[in-house]
Amino acid sequence: MSNDAGVRNLVKRAKNRDPESFGMLYDEYVDQIFRYVYYKVGNVTESQDLTGQTFLKAFENIDSYEMRDVAFSSWLYQIAHNLIVDFFRRESKQERVPFEDNPPTVSPHGNPVEAVISDMESERLYKAMRKLTHNQREVLILKFIDNLSNAHIAEIMGVSVGAVKSTQKRGLLSLNRILGNSSEINS
């Protein structure tokens, strides 16, 4: 789907309360939003809940979405981001939900040896990502996990493209330093 005209058409239909079109939008974006939430929250159950809340809020507020202002996916990311901020506010008043030791595998492999190696590399990268600043982690997740453009990331985060590039560069340098120093990952 991912073409702008198709998404616009589905949004128009969803605004007319066509549940099938919103279901198609859900199918198009649910994996992206879940990955984004998971890499921010670090808990599968909480991530599933927040992803569901994101789409519920989007459905309830679809009439307030203006297609000319931001891309639909950017709007979903903004909703998810706000829910994550609220989640961490609530969590700071309670005991923090720890990151799970084994993040879910994003893409299954046919070869079991490749799958084990990939899982080990993913876990190492995942632990290193937790050491980055909030903004660095967010930019790298959106850029390299969700494959978004710098312009799209800037739209989601409400910053300039230059700020995204700068944050990305600092994040990659930090990640390289962390991954080069294995003892820092485990601390």
Task: Profile the chain (187 residues) by mean pLDDT over runs of 10 residues.
Answer: 76 87 92 90 89 93 82 91 89 55 48 58 78 89 87 89 95 89 58
The residues spanned by each domain of the chain are: 4-92, 112-185
Q: Is 95 left (phi over 0), alpha (psi -120 to 50) or beta?
A: beta
Q: Is 126 left (phi over 0), alpha (psi -120 to 50) or beta?
A: alpha
Q: Is 96 left (phi over 0), alpha (psi -120 to 50) or beta?
A: beta
| Cβ proximity of 132 and 30 under 8 Å | no
How high is the pLDDT of residue 107?
Answer: 45
Topology given in CATH for the domain delimited by 4-92: Rna Polymerase Sigma Factor; Chain: A (1.10.1740)
Residues 118 and 20: their CA atoms lie apart, in Å, by 37
How high is the pLDDT of residue 115?
Answer: 56
Q: Strands (DSSP E) along the chain, which ranges? A: none
How high is the pLDDT of residue 88?
Answer: 85
Nearest one of 14, 124, 125, 121 to 67, comparing CA atoms = 14
Q: In CATH terms, is domain 112-185 a member of 3.90.1150.10?
A: no
Counting other chains too, the contacts that 11-18 makes at CB distance below 8 Å and 24 or more residues apart are 11/62, 11/65, 11/67, 11/72, 14/59, 14/62, 15/62, 15/63, 15/65
Q: What 3-state class would DSSP assign to 139?
A: helix
